[in-house]
Every structure is written in C-alpha cells, then in structure tokens.
Amino acid sequence: GENVEQHPSTLSVQEGDSAVIKCTYSDSASNYFPWYKQELGKRPQLIIDIRSNVGEKKDQRIAVTLNKTAKHFSLHITETQPEDSAVYFCATNTGGYQKVTFGTGTKLQVIP
Amino acid sequence: DGGITQSPKYLFRKEGQNVTLSCEQNLNHDAMYWYRQDPGQGLRLIYYSQIVNDFQKGDIAEGYSVSREKKESFPLTVTSAQKNPTAFYLCASSKSGHIGDGYTFGSGTRLTVV
C-alpha cells in the first residue's frame, strides 16, 4: 500500500518566520495531495490541496509544492502567527480513488 | 456542528465487550470513512464506504466492523477481537469517492478500555 512519510515531527518557529513541512510518498499513481490542520482538541480541517497536474498552489500565507518525479510535496506557511500552532497532516490518495493515506503529522509551535 | 456528528465523545469499555461508535452526517455525502488516531502514528484508515450498502476494509480493519444501511449513517463496532482498542476515533465524509473531494471530519470519540 501507500507509504507517506512526514518530516519534521515537531517544528518551532518565531512568529513572523516561515515554516516548511515535507512529505514523501511511494505510490506513483497518487494524484491528489491534501493538507489538514488539527488544532488542539479539535477535528482535522482541510486547509489546502493540490492535484498532480499542478506544481504549486497558493492560498494567502499557505502554499503547497509538488515534485512528482521525486515523489515529494511540501507545505509552506509564511509570516507565521500564533494561531497557526497546530498539528498538520499531509495525505495522498491510493491509486485512483479518494481514499487517502495520512502522514504521521507535524506539531507546529509558533512562538510569539 | 459541521454537519457530521460523532457520539459519544468519550466511551469506556470493559475488556471483552463490543462497543459501537456512532457517526451521522447531514451533508448528503456519498462516501464515509473511519480513522483511528494514535499519538505519533497519524490517522490510519479502518473502513470506508463509497455508497450505501457497500464498504471496504482499510489498512487496520481487524477487530472492527461497520455497516452502511443509510446514506447518513456509518456506525463502527469495536469488537473484543481488537487487541488494543484504546484510541481516538475519527469519522469523516466526502461528497463522493472521487479525487479532489476533501474530507469533513467529525469531532471524534475517545475510547478507553478499562
């Protein structure tokens, strides 16, 4: 099955700095790459996603990049704010279906 | 509360007992999923259902069972065969089973075996 590795497991940044989280995957047929944010005690929420026909996608301070050749994709958060503190999960689909496999999560702490 | 409701929020089970976790959605979504969340292991798929009366095993289905008799409901039963059931369980739904439909998650059920 699909194997998704996510790094780092924890990340601390100063407010205003950028944060980058990286994921690698194994299934070359994967073509959908969502990112979820889970604040403490809350449910995961989709924050951005990208399909394999696009190399980069931005939404305000959040961007995702995809390198299909190398089978890795990254989440970039610029001008971090304390409310960005959460656990972030990358994911990718298995085969041609919507069923996704999640990474192990990155706990991001933004220090004021 | 986001259109997908899980109950109860906390559940305690004695060893050897079966328990059922409820998941109900009013989003008219076709696909529903059950994930288990353990510290340091992310979310692991237990079962998923693309349409009513159909469901498939995920990566860690052993010791669990599901049913999908109604579009809006996807209950998960944790059986006594599940060796380590203490975990946080998340239910999710998506509009369809097709690529690009993001998940909507429930607020989760924390199951503890006592």
Distance (Å, whole) CA A83 – CA B70: 38
Task: Return the C-alpha torsion angle A51, B31, B67, B81, nearest 10.
Answer: 20
pLDDT in tens, A3-24: 899 999 999 999 999 999 999 9
Residues 1-40 of A with CB under 8 A from B: 1, 6, 9, 31-32, 34, 36
* pLDDT for residue A1: 66
Burial of B60 (0-12, 13-18, 19+ CB in 10 A): middle
CA triple B45-B47-B49, angle to 5 deg? 125
Residue pair B89/B111 in contact (Cβ under 8 Å)? The answer is: yes
Distance (Å, whole) CA A67 – CA A56: 9
Residue A43 scores a pLDDT above 80: yes
For residue A101, give every residue at least 6 positions away whose Cβ sits within 8 Å of its Cβ, in sequence order, or none.
A1, A2, A3, A4, A25, A91, A92, A93, A94, B45, B59
CA triple A97-A99-A101, angle to 5 deg? 125
Distance from CA of A112 to the nearest CA of B (A): 26
Q: Give the chain A residue whose CA is nearest to the CA of B48.
A: A99
Q: How confident is the model at residue B66 (pLDDT cuts 50, 70, 90)?
A: very high
Residue B13 scores a pLDDT above 60: yes
Task: Return the C-alpha torsion angle A110, B44, B107, B3, nearest 10.
Answer: 110
Q: How confident is the model at residue B9 (pLDDT cuts 50, 70, 90)?
A: very high
Q: How confident is the model at residue A87 (pLDDT cuts 50, 70, 90)?
A: very high
* pLDDT for residue A94: 74
Strands annotated E in chain B: 4-7, 10-13, 19-25, 31-37, 43-49, 56-57, 64-66, 76-78, 87-94, 104-105, 109-113
Q: What proportion of chain A, given as a percentage, has pLDDT over 70?
A: 96
pLDDT in tens, B76-86: 999 988 889 99
Measured between beta carbons, the chain A residues lying within 8 angstroms of B2 are: 43
Q: What proportion of chain B, given as a percentage, has pLDDT over 90?
A: 76
Interface membership of B48 toward A (CB under 8 Å): yes
Measured between beta carbons, the chain B residues lying within 8 angstroms of A49 are: 100, 102
